[in-house]
Amino acid sequence: MTEILINHIETAASHAPTWGLILVVAFMTIESSFIPFPSEVVMIPAGFLAARGSMTLGSPMADAILAILAGIAGSLLGAYINYFLSLKVGAPFLERYGRFFFLPKPKLERAEEIFRTYGAGATFVCRLLPAIRQLISIPAGIARMPLGPFTLWTGLGAGIWVTILTLVGYSLGNRTASIT
C-alpha cells in the first residue's frame, strides 16, 4: 500500500513543473466552491515541492510565492462560483435544492446567520475556518455584498490560510531535503 502511495506522489511530483500551478488553481477552485475538498491536500504539497525547487521555476522562494498566488486565485474563483450562483438563484432555490450540491439547509442557515451577525468581516474571518470557508460566499451573494469588498475580504482571508498551509509544506520540504 505504501509503495502505491509513493508511486502516486512521485508521479505527481514529476508533473509539477508543467502542471503544478494549474492544478493548484483548479483544486483550490474546487475547494472554495461547494464541493468539499481539503485545501491542506493541495497547498501543503505545493509548499513541499516549492521548497525542493520542483514546482515551476526551480527557485524555492519564487515557487512558494507562485504557489501562494495560485492558491489565492483558485480560492477567489471558487468563492466567485458560490457568490454568483447564490446571487443568481437566490436563497429559496438553495434552500430547496442545496442538498444536491452538498449544501443541506442547516449549513446554509448557519452560514446566513453568521453573515447577518458579522457582515463583511465574516467573509474575511470565515475564510480561515474549515467547513465554513466554502459556505460564507453564499450568504454574501444572497445579501448582494458589493463585489469589491467581497473580493478584498475573501482574498485576504484566503491569502492568510493559503500562506500558512504553503509554509507548513515548505518547512517539511526543507526539513526533509537530505532524504531522497
Domain ranges of the chain: 2-175
User: HSE of 84 in the Cβ direction (CA atoms, 13 Å)?
Assistant: 7
Identify the sign of the CA torsion 26, 31, 139, 118: negative
Neighbours of 116 (CB within 10 A): 11
Q: What does the pLDDT read at residue 5?
A: 52
Task: Write out pLDDT tens, residues 103-122.
Answer: 777 877 777 787 778 877 88
For the chain, counts of helices (H) and of strands (E): 7, 0
Q: What does the pLDDT read at residue 89?
A: 85
Task: Write out pLDDT tens, residues 141-152.
Answer: 888 889 999 999
The answer, yes or no, to whether residue 76 has pLDDT greater than 90, is yes
46, 20 contact by CB (below 8 A): yes
24, 40 contact by CB (below 8 A): no
Nearest to 109 by CA among 127, 77, 132: 132
Q: What does the pLDDT read at residue 24?
A: 92
Q: What does the pLDDT read at residue 3?
A: 73
The answer, yes or no, to whether residue 33 has pLDDT greater than 80, is yes
Q: By three-state DSSP, how is residue 91 classified? A: helix
Mean pLDDT, to the nearest integer, of 49-60?
A: 87
Q: What does the pLDDT read at residue 108?
A: 73
Q: What does the pLDDT read at residue 163?
A: 97
Over pLDDT 70: what percentage of the chain?
86
The answer, yes or no, to whether residue 131 has pLDDT greater than 80, is no
> What separation in angstroms does the CA of 37 have from each of 17, 107, 114, 156?
23, 16, 22, 20
Mean pLDDT, to the nearest integer, of 74-88?
A: 93
The structure's pTM equals 0.82
The answer, yes or no, to whether residue 54 has pLDDT greater than 90, is no
The answer, yes or no, to whether residue 17 has pLDDT greater than 60, is yes
Q: What does the pLDDT read at residue 1?
A: 54
